[in-house]
Amino acid sequence: MNPPIFIIIMLTVISGTMIVVTTSHWLLVWIGFEMNLLAIIPILMKKYNPRAMEAATKYFLTQAAASMILMMWIIINLLHSGQWTVLKDLNPMASIMMTTALAMKLGLAPFHFWVPEVTQGISMSSGLILLTWQKIAPLSILYQISSTINPNLILTMSILSVMIGGWGGLNQTQLRKIMAYSSIAHMGWMTAIMMYSPTMMILNLTIYIIMTLTTFMLFMHNSTTTTASLSQTWNKTPLITSLILVLMMSLGGLPPLSGFIPKWMIIQELTKNELIMMPTLLAMTALLNLYFYMRLTYTTALTMFPSNNSMKMKWRFECTKKMTFLPPLVVMSTMLLPLAPMLSILD
Amino acid sequence: MMTYIVFILSTVFVVSFVSFSSKPSPIYGGFGLIVAGGIGCGIVLNFGGSFLGLMVFLIYLGGMLVVFGYTTAMATEPYPEAWTSNKAVLAMFITGVLAELLTACYILKEDEVEVVFKFNGAGDWVIYDTGDSGFFSEEAMGIAALYSYGTWLVVVTGWSLLIGVLVIMEVTRGN
Same domain, B27 and B107: yes
Minimal Cα distance from A6: which residue of B? B170
Residue B137's pLDDT band, with cuts at 50, 70 and 90, is: confident
Total domains present in chain A: 1
The per-residue pLDDT for A21 is 96
Report the gap between the CA of A249 and the closest CA in chain B (Å): 39
Number of domains in chain B: 2
CB contact under 8 A, A28 and B153: yes
Residues B158 and B137 in one domain: yes
Q: Nearest CB to B171: which of A19, A42, A79?
A: A42
Q: What is the mean pLDDT of residues A121-145?
A: 94
The predicted pLDDT at position B23 comes to: 86
B118 and B46 share one domain: yes
- B5: pLDDT confidence band, cut at 50, 70 and 90? confident
Residue B131, pLDDT > 70, answer no
Q: Does residue B117 sit in the same domain as residue B140?
A: no
Pick B163's closest partner by Cβ from A28, A35, A79: A35
Share of residues in chain A with pLDDT > 90 (%): 82
Is-cis flag, bond preceding A256, omega within 30? yes
| Residue B128 clears pLDDT 90, i.e. is over it | no
pTM for the whole structure: 0.91
Mean pLDDT of B50-56: 91
Claim to verify: residue B87 and residue B169 sit in the same structural domain: no
pLDDT of residue B17: 94
What is the distance between the alpha carbons of residues B49 and B55, in angstroms, rounded to a whole number? Answer: 10
Residues of A in contact with B170 (CB under 8 A): 1, 5, 9, 42, 45
Across chain A, mean pLDDT equals 93
Give the residue from B166, B139, B132 showing the smallest Cα distance to B44.
B139
Q: How far is A338 from chain B (nearest CA, A)?
A: 43
Region A30-39: mean pLDDT is 96
Taking residues A43-54, report their average pLDDT. 92
State mean pLDDT over A190-214: 95
Structural domain that includes position B158: 130-174
For A9, nearest residue in chain B (alpha carbons)? B163
Q: Quick one: B141 and B122 in the same domain?
A: no
Domain shared by B85 and B141, yes or no: no
Please tell me whether residues B111 and B153 are part of one structural domain.
Answer: no
Question: What's the whole-number mean pLDDT along residues A271-285?
Answer: 94
Under an 8 A CB cutoff, do B167 and A79 touch?
no
Asked if A12 is an interface residue toward chain B (Cβ–Cβ < 8 A), one would say yes
Q: What is the pLDDT of residue B126?
A: 62
Report CB contact under 8 Å: A9, B163: yes
Claim to verify: residue B97 and residue B17 sit in the same structural domain: yes
Confidence class for position B118, pLDDT limits 50, 70, 90: low
ipTM confidence score:
0.87
Instruction: Please report the pLDDT score of residue B117 as a whole number.
Output: 60
**A48 touching B (Cβ < 8 Å):** yes
pLDDT above 90 for A1? no
- Is residue B26's pLDDT more than 60? yes
Mean pLDDT of A158-165: 96
Question: Does pLDDT of B129 surpass 80?
Answer: no
pLDDT at B122 over 60: no
| Residue A3: its H or E element | helix A3-22
Q: Return the percentage of chain A with pLDDT > 70, whole number.
A: 100
- When CB atoms are compared, the residue of A5, A31, A56 closest to B166 is A5
Amino acid at B112: E
> E strands along chain A, which residues?
none
Residue of A nearest to B168 (CA): A42
DSSP state of A90: P
Taking CA–CA distances from B174, the nearest residue in chain A reads A48
Tell me whether B77 touches chain A (CB under 8 Å).
no
Size of interface A-B (CB pairs under 8 A): 42
CA–CA distances in Å: residue B93 to residues A65, A109, B15: 20, 31, 9
Q: CB of A35 within 8 Å of any CB in chain B?
A: yes
Q: Is the pLDDT of residue A295 over 80?
A: yes
Question: Residue B59: exposed, middle, or buried by beta-carbon count in 10 A (0-12, 13-18, 19+)?
Answer: exposed
Task: Give the CB-side neighbour count of residue A287, counting CA atoms within 13 A.
Answer: 6
- Please tell me the distance in Å from B100's CA to the nearest CA on chain A: 18
Confidence of residue A217 (pLDDT cuts 50, 70, 90): very high
**Is B154 found in the same domain as B91?**
no
Q: Are residues B70 and B144 in the same domain?
A: no
State how far residue A12 is from chain B, nearest Cα, in angstroms: 8
Task: pLDDT band for B125, please (50, 70, 90 cuts).
Answer: low
Give how far Cα A140 sits from Cα of A71, A262, A302, A317, Å: 16, 17, 39, 42
Q: For B156, which of A1, A31, A56 is closest by C-beta distance?
A: A31
Residues A342-346 have a mean pLDDT of 86
Give the model's pLDDT for residue B174. Answer: 76
User: Which among A31, A42, A48 is the nearest to B167, CB-wise?
Assistant: A42
Give contacts of B160 with chain A, Cβ < 8 Å: 12, 31, 34-35, 38
Residue B155 near chain A (CB below 8 Å)? no
Lowest mean per-residue pLDDT among A268-282, B25-39, B131-145: B131-145
- The top-scoring range by mean pLDDT among A147-161, A296-310, B67-81 is A147-161
- pLDDT exceeds 60 at position B56: yes
Confidence check: pLDDT of A118 > 90:
yes
Write B122-131 long-range contacts (CB < 8 A, 24+): B122/B7, B124/A79, B124/B6, B125/B4, B125/B6, B125/B7, B125/B10, B126/B3, B126/B4, B126/B6, B126/B7, B127/B2, B127/B3, B127/B5, B127/B6, B127/B46, B128/B3, B130/B48, B131/B48
Q: Which domain holds residue A21?
A: 3-345
Q: B156 and B92: one domain? A: no
Nearest to A38 among B124, B167, B174 (CB): B167
Least confident of A15-19, A174-178, B72-76: B72-76
The residue-averaged pLDDT of A70-90 equals 89
At residue B124, the pLDDT reads 56
CB contact under 8 A, B160 and A41: no
Q: Can you tell me the mean pLDDT for A313-342?
A: 90
Beta bridge partners of B118: B114
